[in-house]
């Protein structure tokens, strides 16, 4: 079996700037070798069984003493491909624009390994997130992308400083350490010291930061702001438009990096809402939804559906798992006619509706077991048979209270929540907010990092909880909840963050 390599541009950082082709191939890869400039959430798009290798060689040293460098990355790509693997080399921006993708492609050709290049949105294009175009009929008819960090072994410079010193917009990649030299060469080549200049860190990411000035003072401003790589250096008159055109800064959550701990299958809805408000949502699932250890209790309950007067769902996952099992058993939802169906909240009710079912009961405002119980206790439950398909481990408030009311209650596991394999550390960069949407997301987060380290990681990070039960769990672990949603829904959580 022959392997194949895909050199994929991950884009400048915003998760949604990955191309559709890049997303499709990432989901099909056996091995993903990714660098630190790519958004860490992108690894969540890989298969659960894919091998993930971080190719960050900023001083990274392995147990055998070897240091990660470009040669080692090349060997990793070739080694996995020769084993017949589908390899994705995920590179920040575009692989063929200052991404050393050309060098990696040459290595693959030398080893007769099949490969494809998937272009990405280069970092310079991401400067639209800073509010200025690279070209404009009034200000600049050309743009130049220039390396600010040439190969140190190359004799002389291949940059045409004479041309760069005349007109057009200039974008320097990897040049922060050489900023004084770049400014000096441009002024010596004829650029007016009053020409606008800008430095943009982590372009398109939640941590994006901009420093504006002119060639005459940008070095001083860079030192004062402690600008660090990765950052772009931009020179040109178009920068003057940033005050007028900086659309992103007008979004309410601009500049915020928010960690989303929902399960992989459920995180996207919350992430999309946060991204639309200007934040960068980093998906770090702390729970994974898996089948129960045995389907026998659920199958037995399904076989006796006619015996139950009420079916209660306490989560979206409970609905999905129950309906999925009906389909496996080749039983359609018409068998649920004449049953009274209860949903713990609007999200669960919506999932029922998507499956052609309407909830007869729903918690009012307090979307918890206690809230749903208030609605159910208005019924005459003495002697009633009630089925609750739910998570394998959950609070027993609802089932115990219904039994005290005289009902016969059968609780069956429809799914389990487990701690997933950790793929990356979301706190490697700046994090402003973390969201917890259930007690399980909190307890698993603490278990993943350990109680002491979890507290350390969350120092200076605002904790936003979806409701009082989740908040109580966080406090049990010694975590301070900064904001609690008034309504235990995704929309309520977003409102709390705002």
The CATH number of residue 232's host domain is 3.30.950.10
Q: From residue 414, how far is each of 214, 304, 318 by CA, in Å?
A: 63, 15, 6
pLDDT reported for residue 355: 92
Helix H or strand E segment including 235: strand 231-235
Domain stop point among 87, 121, 155: 121
Q: Which residues are identified as catalytic?
A: 35, 60, 174
Which of 418, 452, 487 delimits the end of a domain?
418
Give yes or no: residues 357 and 306 share one domain.
Answer: yes
CATH of the domain at 16: 3.40.1010.10
- The answer to whether 201 touches 208, Cβ cutoff 8 Å, is yes
Do 177 and 69 lie in one domain? The reply is no
pLDDT per position in the chain (498 positions), as tens?
Answer: 689 999 999 999 999 999 999 999 999 999 999 998 899 889 999 998 999 998 875 545 444 555 678 899 999 999 999 999 999 999 999 999 999 999 999 999 999 999 999 999 999 999 999 999 999 999 999 999 999 887 555 666 778 888 877 779 999 999 999 999 999 999 999 999 999 999 999 999 999 999 999 999 999 999 999 999 999 999 999 999 999 999 999 999 999 999 999 887 777 889 999 999 999 999 999 999 999 999 999 999 999 999 999 999 999 999 999 999 999 999 988 888 878 999 998 989 999 999 999 999 988 878 888 889 998 999 899 999 999 999 998 889 999 999 999 999 999 999 999 998 888 889 988 999 999 999 999 999 999 999 999 999 999 999 999 999 999 999 999 999 999 999 888 999 999 999
Average pLDDT over the chain reads 92
CATH of the domain at 387: 3.40.50.10090
Which domain, by its residues, includes 481? 257-287+420-497
Instruction: Please tell me the predicted confidence (pLDDT) of residue 496.
Output: 96
**440 & 379 share domain:** no
pLDDT by residue (tens digit) across 59-75? 454 445 556 788 999 99
Largest CA distance in the chain: 91
> Both 409 and 424 in a single domain?
no
CA dihedral (58, 60, 61, 62) positive or negative: negative
Task: Say if residues 199 and 231 touch (Cβ distance below 8 Å).
Answer: yes
Residues 311/387, Cβ–Cβ less than 8 Å:
yes
Q: What is the pLDDT of residues 167-219, one digit of tens each?
A: 799 999 999 999 999 999 999 999 999 999 999 999 999 999 999 999 999 99
Q: What number of CA atoms fall less than 13 Å from residue 99's CA on the CB side? A: 33
Residue 476 CB partners (closer than 8 Å, separation 6+):
none
Domain shared by 91 and 62, yes or no: yes
- One domain, residues 142 and 222: yes
411: tokens are 């609780």
In this structure, the answer to whether residues 164 and 141 fall within a common structural domain is yes
Residue found under tokens 């901009």: 210
Of the three residues 369, 399, 418, the one that is the final residue of a domain is: 418
Which pTM was predicted? 0.86
Instruction: Give the per-residue SS3 of 400-452.
Output: HHHHHCCCEEEEEEEEEEECCCCCCCHHHCCCCEEEECCHHHHHHHHHHHCHH
At 336 the pLDDT is 86
Total structural domains within the chain:
4
- Other C-beta atoms closer than 10 Å to the C-beta of 383 total 9
Q: Which residues contact 360 (CB under 8 A, 6 or more apart)?
A: 340, 341, 342
Beta strand segments in 319-407, E: 340-343, 361-362, 385-391
Both 87 and 198 in a single domain? no
């Amino acid at each position: 079996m022959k392997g194949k390599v895909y050199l994929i541009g991950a884009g400048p950082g915003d998760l949604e700037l990955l191309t559709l082709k890049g997303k499709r191939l990432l989901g099909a890869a056996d091995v993903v070798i990714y660098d630190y400039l790519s958004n860490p959430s992108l690894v969540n798009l890989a298969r659960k069984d894919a091998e993930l290798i971080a190719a960050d060689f900023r001083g990274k040293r392995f147990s055998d003493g070897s240091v990660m460098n470009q040669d080692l990355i090349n060997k990793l790509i070739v080694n996995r491909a020769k084993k017949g693997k589908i390899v994705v080399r995920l590179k920040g921006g575009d692989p063929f624009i200052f991404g050393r993708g050309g060098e990696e492609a040459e290595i693959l050709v030398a080893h007769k390994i099949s490969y494809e290049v998937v272009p990405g949105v280069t970092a310079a294009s991401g400067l639209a997130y800073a509010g200025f175009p690279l070209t404009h009929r009034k200000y600049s008819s050309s743009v130049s992308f220039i390396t600010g960090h040439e190969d140190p072994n190359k004799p002389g410079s291949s940059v045409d400083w004479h041309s760069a010193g005349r007109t057009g917009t200039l974008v320097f990649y990897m040049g922060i350490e050489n900023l004084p030299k770049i400014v000096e060469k441009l002024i010596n080549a004829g650029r007016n010291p009053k020409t606008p200049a800008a430095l943009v860190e982590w372009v398109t990411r939640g941590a994006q930061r901009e420093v504006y000035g002119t060639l005459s003072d940008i070095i001083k401003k860079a030192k004062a702001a402690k600008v660090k790589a990765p950052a772009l250096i931009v020179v040109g008159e178009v920068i003057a438009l940033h005050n007028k055109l900086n659309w992103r800064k007008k979004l309410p959550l601009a500049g915020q990096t928010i960690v989303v701990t929902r399960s992989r299958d459920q995180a996207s809805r919350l992430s999309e809402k946060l991204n639309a408000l200007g934040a960068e949502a980093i998906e770090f699932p702390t729970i994974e939804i898996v089948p129960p250890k045995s389907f026998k209790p659920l199958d037995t309950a399904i076989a006796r559906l006619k015996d139950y007067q009420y079916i209660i769902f306490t989560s979206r996952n409970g609905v999905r798992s129950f309906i999925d099992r009906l389909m496996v058993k080749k039983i359609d939802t018409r068998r649920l006619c004449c049953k009274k169906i209860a949903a713990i909240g609007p999200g669960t009710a919506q999932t029922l509706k998507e499956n052609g079912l309407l909830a007869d009961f729903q918690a009012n405002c307090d979307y918890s077991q206690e809230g749903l119980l208030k609605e159910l206790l208005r019924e005459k439950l003495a002697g009633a048979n009630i089925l609750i398909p739910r998570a394998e481990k959950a609070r027993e408030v609802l089932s115990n209270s219904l039994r005290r009311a005289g009902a016969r209650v059968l609780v069956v596991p429809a799914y389990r929540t487990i701690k997933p394999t950790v793929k990356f550390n979301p706190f490697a960069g700046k994090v402003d907010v973390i969201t917890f949407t259930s007690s399980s997301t909190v307890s698993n987060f603490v278990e993943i990092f350990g109680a002491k380290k979890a507290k350390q990681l969350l120092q200076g990070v605002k904790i936003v909880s979806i409701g009082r039960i989740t908040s109580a769990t966080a406090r049990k672990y010694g975590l301070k909840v900064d904001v609690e949603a008034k309504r235990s829904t995704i929309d309520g959580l977003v409102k709390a963050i705002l």
